[in-house]
């Protein structure tokens, strides 16, 4: 069996404990702009999640860009030169063109390294959902799956990771054009905490509009009650936009209801946080319905 290296990008939000004892996954950093400055988020970068949300709370809006094709070369080519195959699991193509950029880069690399296997598989996942998928990908590699078997496993199981998010403030959804100014004004006045999901095509979709943080948490738990399937996996991830206290409360509520769950909390990084803002809460798990 050929040796292969797994890649993902910096949108795969995790906590370190999730990857303990598992094969290394190489994380490709991504660019974010905020307060008129360009930053790099990820390994070797110059911005962490706490600093990013502090800038947002000061009234700054952020923007992100997809990884361009040429930026993959310094990451992919050394692996190929070393005689290893590679497989990349990007942020969902429903939210980013990074998948397309990677495919363009790989098309050129296949001509230079025809003896190597070079694959890119769309995750249809984002943030802590992508982080959960990457954790399971590493587990499958440790179990001995070949690179082709791993690609097939992800294609078969990627829509079984349910993503549910609640957003604490409307400003960043409005700035990104996901809600109108009128909706943002009314929503803020009524203390609405919109609930979103990542749908079957990997895109964000507003589903509910609970009022207040407590009702928003209850709505998240209600979705888990409806669709969680522990037979697929007991791992649950609570993600947060620099609000560890709220994340801890949501984790407590999950374990109170489902003591058999294996629950992690993880920060949501700037790439997704640019569009959702501080205070965001996410609940991600293996389920029967996206």
The answer to whether residue 177 scores a pLDDT higher than 70 is no
HSE-CB for 91 with a 13 A CA cutoff: 27
pLDDT class for 271, splitting at 50, 70, 90? very high
d(CA 81, CA 84): 7
pLDDT value, residue 120: 98
At residue 74, the 3 state secondary structure works out as helix
- pTM (two decimals): 0.91
pLDDT value, residue 174: 56
- Work out the number of other CB atoms within 10 angstroms of the CB of residue 134: 26
pLDDT class for 245, splitting at 50, 70, 90? very high
The answer to whether residue 191 scores a pLDDT higher than 70 is no
Do 228 and 132 contact (CB within 8 A), yes or no?
no
Lowest pLDDT segment from 27-31, 88-92, 207-211, 242-246: 207-211
Provide CB contacts within 8 A for 37, sequence distance 6+. none
The answer to whether residue 157 scores a pLDDT higher than 90 is yes
Domains of the chain, first to last: 4-159 (3.40.50.10170), 160-286 (3.30.1180.10)
pLDDT value, residue 179: 52
The answer to whether residue 130 scores a pLDDT higher than 50 is yes
At residue 200, the 3 state secondary structure works out as coil
d(CA 11, CA 57): 21
pLDDT class for 186, splitting at 50, 70, 90? very low
Lowest pLDDT segment from 36-50, 183-197, 256-270: 183-197
- Work out the number of other CB atoms within 10 angstroms of the CB of residue 229: 14
pLDDT value, residue 196: 82
d(CA 136, CA 264): 14
Residue of higher predicted confidence among 184 and 257? 257
Taking residues 83-87, report their average pLDDT: 98
Torsion, Cα of 16, 21, 22, 28 (10° steps): 30
CA distances from 123 to 11, 118, 162, 190 (A): 11, 16, 12, 35
At residue 121, the 3 state secondary structure works out as coil
Which strands form 161-166's sheet, in the order they lie side by side? 204-208, 195-198, 161-166, 281-286, 235-240, 262-267
Report which DSSP code applies to 45: -
At residue 29, the 3 state secondary structure works out as coil
Considering the chain, what is the average pLDDT of its residues? 91
pLDDT value, residue 64: 92
Provide CB contacts within 8 A for 64, sequence distance 6+. 30, 31, 32, 33, 270, 271, 274, 275
Lowest pLDDT segment from 4-8, 66-70, 198-202: 198-202
Percent of the residues in the chain that have a pLDDT greater than 70, as a whole number: 91
Do 255 and 247 contact (CB within 8 A), yes or no?
no
Geometric angle at alpha carbon 272, from 266 and 278, rounded to 5°:
70
The answer to whether residue 265 scores a pLDDT higher than 50 is yes
């Amino acid at each position: 069996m050929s040796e292969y290296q797994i890649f993902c990008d910096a949108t795969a939000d995790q906590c370190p404990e999730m990857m303990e004892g598992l094969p290394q996954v190489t994380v490709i950093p991504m660019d974010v702009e905020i307060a008129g400055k360009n930053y790099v988020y990820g390994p070797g970068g110059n911005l962490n999640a706490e600093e990013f949300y502090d800038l947002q709370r000061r009234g700054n809006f952020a923007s992100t860009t997809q990884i361009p094709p040429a930026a993959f070369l310094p990451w992919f080519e050394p692996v190929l030169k070393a005689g290893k195959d590679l497989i990349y699991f990007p942020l969902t193509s429903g939210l980013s063109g990074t998948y397309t950029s990677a495919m363009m880069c790989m098309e050129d690399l296949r001509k230079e390294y025809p003896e190597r296997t070079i694959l890119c598989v769309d995750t249809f996942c984002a943030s802590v959902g992508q982080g959960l998928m990457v954790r399971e990908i590493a587990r499958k590699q440790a179990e001995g799956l070949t690179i082709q078997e791993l690609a097939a496993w992800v294609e078969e199981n990627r829509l079984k990771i349910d993503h549910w998010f609640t957003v604490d403030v409307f400003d960043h959804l409005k700035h990104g054009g996901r809600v109108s100014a009128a909706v943002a004004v009314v929503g803020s006045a009524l203390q609405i905490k919109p609930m979103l999901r990542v749908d079957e095509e990997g895109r964000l979709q507003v589903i509910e509009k609970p009022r207040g943080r407590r009702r928003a948490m209850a709505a998240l738990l209600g979705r888990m009650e409806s669709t969680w399937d522990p037979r697929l996996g007991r791992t649950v991830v609570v993600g947060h936009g620099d609000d560890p206290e709220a994340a801890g409360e949501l984790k407590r509520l999950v374990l109170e209801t489902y003591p058999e769950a294996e629950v992690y909390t993880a920060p949501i990084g700037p790439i997704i946080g640019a569009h959702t803002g501080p205070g965001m809460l996410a609940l991600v798990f293996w389920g029967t319905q996206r």
